[in-house]
Structure 1
Amino acid sequence: MSQVKESIEVDVPVRTAYNQWTQFETFPLFMDGVERVEQIDESLTHWVTKIGGVDREFDAEITEQVPDERIAWVTVGGTTEQSGVVTFHPIDPTRTQVTLRMDFDPEGLAETIADKFGFIDRQVTGDLKRFKKFIEERGTESGAWRGEV
């Protein structure tokens, strides 16, 4: 099992950053390789990805969701084994630290090599930078889900 952990500061309040992150269907707008995310119900999402030429489709179950603090998930079914958590920490009233930690099991030679050479770390860093740009340019979230899991 491999792990990646990256953080970024975004110039929006914690509520805004958290609310936007709950809008999973917008992820393709800032996450490279994510082609589609469908919200099936409060705690289940369906993902279609193409990363490094590898197509994947899988479901992810939200195992914990606390407004303005954290969202944790784990993949269910399929061959992709992944879990993670994204946390939101207010720096001050207008800035938030977003930290993403993900555990995953590289599948096959190509993914193992990509992991060893830091491709996954760079992918997550790039996704967080694009999230920062996305939310800061908007200045407000595109929606919100404030429920708890």
Structure 2
Amino acid sequence: MTTKVEESVLVNVPVSVAYNQWTQFEDFPRFMGGVQSVTQLGDDRLRWVAEIAGVKREWEARILEQVRDAKVAWAATEGATNAGAVTFEDLGGGQTSVHLSLEYAPEGLVEKVGDALGVVEGRAKKDLERFKAFIEDEGYATGAWRGEVNAGAGVGTPGVEAAAASEGDRGKAGFSGKAVAAGLGAAAAGAAAAVVGAAKAGRDADAAEVDPVAPATAEPLPPAEPVAGETAPVVDVPPTRTAPVADDGTDPAAQI
């Protein structure tokens, strides 16, 4: 099962400025929460390291289509399974609409809980808002790449089917156990606690239905009777030590 995210933001800069900033992929950690690094391996290849919802993920993505001032579409080739596109629409008057379409496949219990709580959707919305604040505060892009990749290919908005090459890597993208509670927040932690508590309560209830069994006490065995024709063994008992008695009948030790 996959999840789709659709988010938009209106930025008060010309479309070329908004687009140019987006082409600076290695600057993404400056406004994308949870993104630790993006490394550009080539004009159409990126390596991502991110921690979202308490789960650390590393993946590589390929740009399937990049059209100047209009669109960047991508799909993962290994690691976390995701794909999507960012489009830029010139609204005139120095305003641009930036729209993000993303589809991803959550993996494991932690990611699925985070998915149910809308963690990724919330993160995407905040990331676009931070992008808006970043580019509007600067007023210009920190850099620009005006090249294109497969322009006119018409790939549309890629879904996870375009990231099929990454599906074999599920569970291999990395995991950060210590950040689970912090990443999912109190709601997810509470949900996990409720599951554990319910399981424990069930075990306690089962145990309570069983009547306790009193410990058995050992009865003393009767003394063994001698077998006919045999004599009981004779046990040598050492003589009791007694104090010497003086001729007058007094105890010498008492006179010391």
Which amino acid in structure 2 is aligned with residue 27 of structure 1?
F
User: 3-state SS of the aligned residue for 1:32?
Assistant: coil
- Measure, in 2, the Cα distance between the counterparts of 1:113 and 1:92: 41
Which amino acid in structure 1 is aligned with residue 106 of structure 2?
P
Name the residue aligned to 1:35: 36
* Cα drift, residue 93 of structure 1: 3.4
Name the residue aligned to 1:48: 49
Which amino acid in structure 1 is aligned with residue 126 of structure 2?
G
* Cα drift, residue 13 of structure 1: 0.3
TM-score with structure 2 length normalisation? 0.57
User: 3-state SS of the aligned residue for 1:98?
Assistant: strand
Deviations 1:69-93 (A, max 9, x none): 0000000122x11001000001113
Which amino acid in structure 2 is aligned with residue 35 of structure 1?
Q
TM-score with structure 1 length normalisation? 0.97
Deviations 1:71-129 (A, max 9, x none): 00000122x11001000001113000000000000011111121122111110000000
Name the residue aligned to 1:92: 92
- Bigger-Rg structure (1/2): 2
Which amino acid in structure 2 is aligned with residue 70 of structure 1?
K
Which amino acid in structure 2 is aligned with residue 41 of structure 1?
G
Which amino acid in structure 1 is aligned with residue 66 of structure 2?
Q
Structure 1 gaps of 5+ residues are: none
Which amino acid in structure 2 is aligned with residue 57 of structure 1?
E
- Measure, in 1, the Cα distance between the counterparts of 2:27 and 2:40: 11
Name the residue aligned to 2:103: 103
Is the strand fraction higher in 1 or 2?
1
Q: Does 1:77 align with 2:74?
A: no
Which amino acid in structure 1 is aligned with residue 90 of structure 2?
P
User: 3-state SS of the aligned residue for 2:61?
Assistant: strand
Percent identity of equivalent pairs: 47
Moved over 3 A (4+): none
* Cα drift, residue 52 of structure 1: 2.0
Name the residue aligned to 2:144: 144
- Measure, in 2, the Cα distance between the counterparts of 1:120 and 1:144: 28
- Measure, in 2, the Cα distance between the counterparts of 1:38 and 1:63: 17
Q: Which has the higher contact order (CA 8 A, sep 6+)?
A: 1
Name the residue aligned to 2:161: none
- Measure, in 2, the Cα distance between the counterparts of 1:52 and 1:113: 9
Name the residue aligned to 1:9: 10
Name the residue aligned to 1:115: 115
- Measure, in 1, the Cα distance between the counterparts of 2:56 and 2:131: 22
Structure 2 gaps of 5+ residues are: 150-256
User: 3-state SS of the aligned residue for 1:113?
Assistant: helix
User: 3-state SS of the aligned residue for 1:128?
Assistant: helix
* Cα drift, residue 38 of structure 1: 0.5
Give the aligned length.
148
* Cα drift, residue 21 of structure 1: 0.2
* Cα drift, residue 138 of structure 1: 0.4
